[in-house]
Amino acid sequence: MKLFYSKKVLLSVLLILSLVSCNKMEIRDVEYDGTWVVPLAHTSISTERLLYSFLDSSYIDHDDTTNLVKLVYSMDFGSIGIRDLQSSLLNVDTTLHISGSKSFSDIPGTGTQNFYYRDTLMINLNDFTDDLNVTLDSLYLNSGEFGCMVNFDLPEGWSWSIVVFSDNLKLNGNKFSHKFDKNSNSVNISMADYGFFPTDGREMIFVSDLTLTVVGPCPADTVNFSMDVSFSGFAIDRMFGDFSGLSYSYANSLDFDFEIPFDDWEVYGTKLRATLVTNLGSAFKLTFDEFNLSNASGATLVVIEPGEVYEFKCPSQFEEYVVDEISLDVPPELFTFEPNRVDFAIKLETLEDNIKDYITINSRISSGISVEVPMQLRIDEIEVIDSLPFNGLGLEESTASMMNMIDNCDILIDIENSIPMDLSMMCVFLDSTLHVIDTAFGEMINIKSAVVDSDTHDVISPTVSNLTWNLTPEKTMEINEARMIYLVCRINTTEGEEYVNIRYDGVLDVSLRARIKFNNIEFNN
């Protein structure tokens, strides 16, 4: 027991003084009079904890700049991939074979000499994209294979070589080039990381330079030549060009999880937004053919009129996701209506602009809606309960002798409130079996709201309340047996306030102390 400890300290000090003193000292009729102030418990109930006690935490958010709390109800309509916009745009499994033969009737008939011939092979990209309705500046591959085989029907002793190259097929800026001869007349080359730079947005050009060494007379009027080219297993990584004119339509009905948590909640400043998230590098427009909210009883509220059109910008950097939002007017009926279903039909169309468009194999447009409900509101009596561990008043024994030493005991409750709400609070003390021992003041105590500016509805300063609960010695002993405190808080908007702004940094801070004054105590020799 702390009192007995203090007595021992005092006796020890007196004993030491008697030992070092020249004169013998007798301890006789020493009186001790003391008051203890003992910290008992402390809690800070934040706005966040208050909200989590009666709201689904997944809906709670706040503005990083203003700290204003808001509830966000959102849903996704779905995600549209580039193949949805045009299924043939990135056809990755096509093989193209091109072959031809040439007659060389003007080859000299005698002697040993070289003969040169150049030919150009044109490949239209539509041949392996299945009607590509765009104009390309370039496209890059992450896989695929280019194959080429050259064949000659030549007399014995003649030799040949062909260099096939392309100015508009490049790897790391270097033009594609490969040499063939009768000892190596075929090749298969991986196209990973190659870039195609078609002319006129569509055509690939391969040039073949033939060097033919003629030995002796030509046995016939013609020398047959063929070149077989194949493209297979292409997987296009990204494409640059003009993709205006692609379109996609989508309609669906989806459940919408929306609920006003209070019957008497008067809501202010609500925002309804249609959102799009995209890494499609093309400007596009969104047209709503239908957009209705409906509730469980089937009542329908039209939020967006049919035919409403919204345009969205192209992402400013390659593969950067861009979020665009449409802020929509929210009818007041929305919050008595409490919609739980969305019926919609939308159309997306890419637009022509002055920026080079790009599309990747992973290009997508995701769309949805969100309703933001700021916590600018009036609240009528929300109850929150907080539990605190408690280890008594610091008195080791609850005995009659100890009770006789106590002159009086006060429980001091210090409250600082920076939440813009009036509170009624009950402080309940319980024993280890959670049976109620007593309630401070025997009833709810009223705590004033933080001071609120009537124009801005924001907190100007917190309010501080210092309460004193006086205990008899008998009641002190009972409270000393308590092992748990329940704080029961009931919250209401201050009467006369239109509404208040609820912010994340609001706190209800509660501290409990015991102030115990002991009777005069005599220590006799």
Q: What is the mean pLDDT of the chain?
A: 77
Say what the pLDDT of residue 6 is: 40
**Predicted pLDDT at 468:** 94
Q: Taking Cα atoms as reference points, which of 448, 413, 406 lies closest to residue 428?
A: 413
pLDDT of amino acid 469: 94
CA 459 to CA 395: how far, in whole Å? 41
DSSP secondary structure of 253-291: EEE-----S-TT----S-EEEEEEEE--BS-EEEEEEEE
pTM score of the predicted model: 0.61
H or E element that contains 5: helix 2-20
Q: What is the mean pLDDT of residues 331-341?
A: 78
Chain-centre distance for alpha carbon 461: 33
The per-residue pLDDT for range 133-189, each reduced to its tens digit, is 667 788 888 888 888 888 877 777 778 888 888 888 889 889 989 888 888 889 998
The helix/strand/coil state of 202 is coil
Determine the pLDDT at residue 443: 87
Percent of the residues in the chain that have a pLDDT greater than 90, as a whole number: 11
Where are any strands of DSSP class E within 454-496?
459-461, 463-471, 484-492
- Residue 101 confidence (pLDDT) above 80: no
